[in-house]
Amino acid sequence: MLKAKHILEESIIELCNSGSLTGCIRMADLGCSSGPNTLLLVKQTIETVDLICKKLNREIPTLQVFMNDLPGNDFNAIFRSLPSFYEQLPLCKDKCYIAAMPGSFYGRPFPDRFLHFVHSSYSLHWRSQVPEGLRSESGSRMNKGNIYIAKTSPPSVRQNYLDSFRKDFTLFLSFCSAEMVTGGLLFLTIVATGDSDGHLNQGRIQHFKVGWPRLGSSNLNSTGLIEESKLESFDLPYYVPTMEEVRQVVGEEGSFELHRHETLGVAWDSGINASIN
């Protein structure tokens, strides 16, 4: 999020300059989670809006923020952290109204033409469900020994994952477009790879290479940590698209114009020390 900050700021400036804002900016963070990053978006947004308003000698609008995630998310932890957040950022106390909106972003959590600004970071790689087609007609597993696309996966498995990404992302865009006002801003940070045929070989998302594929191999099974039958019944509802795949869906779905895209390199273990200490 820190790496994407400059793009976020420029995008909010464009949104404000488009003049489509009323006295209250309604925004949503889809897949907000409940950790140290959760309120960072609110902070970055209000600070940028404040800066623009000061430059334009305009009164700062109110921000109504809807924190969205699946119902199992710890929304209470977000609300418990609000007093210290407001203390650090008095501007937010006066100008931000923060609420929770639980529900899948592959559904319709918001009314029609409601939101000016929709943000989602590091969440759209999660599929709405395990892709279809990972079992044969007789029920046997097509991706034997793996829980995601791996070197030993048949090509059909990769296609199944891609199809499920395309279906979910298309739905996501069409729902967002219904929920957003004309001229609104959709700002997405998506985990993506530059590798179009084997996500595990040269993809930038290194943690697949060193982490999860091992979970899917017999290594984990041989340590006795998990029964083979459990391992063999598990498929990750996860897909890391290429930028081209993202572009294609945006173009085909047709509700949004892709104004800008930028690739931000992030190491798989970025920040790991910070979270341990």
Ligand X SMILES: C[S@@+](CC[C@H](N)C(=O)[O-])C[C@H]1O[C@@H](n2cnc3c(N)ncnc32)[C@H](O)[C@@H]1O
The binding site for ligand X (CB under 6 A) comprises: 1, 30-33, 37, 68-70, 73, 104-106, 121-123, 126, 128
The residues with which 62 forms a beta bridge, in sequence order, are 24
Q: In terms of Cα–Cα distance, which of 28, 36, 26, 95 is closest to 67?
A: 28
Phi, psi of 126 (to 5 degrees): -80, 130
CB of 144 to ligand X, least distance (A): 27
Buried b (16+ CB within 10 A) or exposed e, 55-78: eeeeebbbbbbbbbbeeebebeeb
Distance of CA 111 to the CA centre of its chain: 21
Q: In terms of Cα–Cα distance, which of 276, 147, 272, 267 is closest to 207?
A: 267
Nearer to ligand X, 212 or 221 (CB): 212
Distance of CA 17 to the CA centre of its chain: 26
Nearer to ligand X, 79 or 122 (CB): 122
Nearer to ligand X, 21 or 32 (CB): 32
CB of 29 to ligand X, least distance (A): 7
Distances in Å between the Cα of 17 and the Cα atoms of 13, 58, 133, 184, 259 are 6, 12, 47, 12, 15
User: How is residue 52 written in tokens?
Assistant: 């623009």
Nearer to ligand X, 30 or 147 (CB): 30
CB of 102 to ligand X, least distance (A): 8
The residues with which 189 forms a beta bridge, in sequence order, are 121
* Measured distance CA(77)–CA(34) in Å, rounded: 6
Nearer to ligand X, 70 or 77 (CB): 70
CB of 120 to ligand X, least distance (A): 7
Q: Which distant-in-sequence residues (6+ apart) come within 8 Å of 136 by Cβ?
A: 142
Tally of CB atoms within 10 A around 129? 10
Nearer to ligand X, 38 or 153 (CB): 38
Nearest-CB residue to ligand X? 31
- Contact in structure between 142 and 133 (CB atoms under 8 Å): yes
CB of 98 to ligand X, least distance (A): 15
CB of 201 to ligand X, least distance (A): 23
Nearer to ligand X, 78 or 200 (CB): 78
CB of 239 to ligand X, least distance (A): 12
The length of the chain in residues reads 277
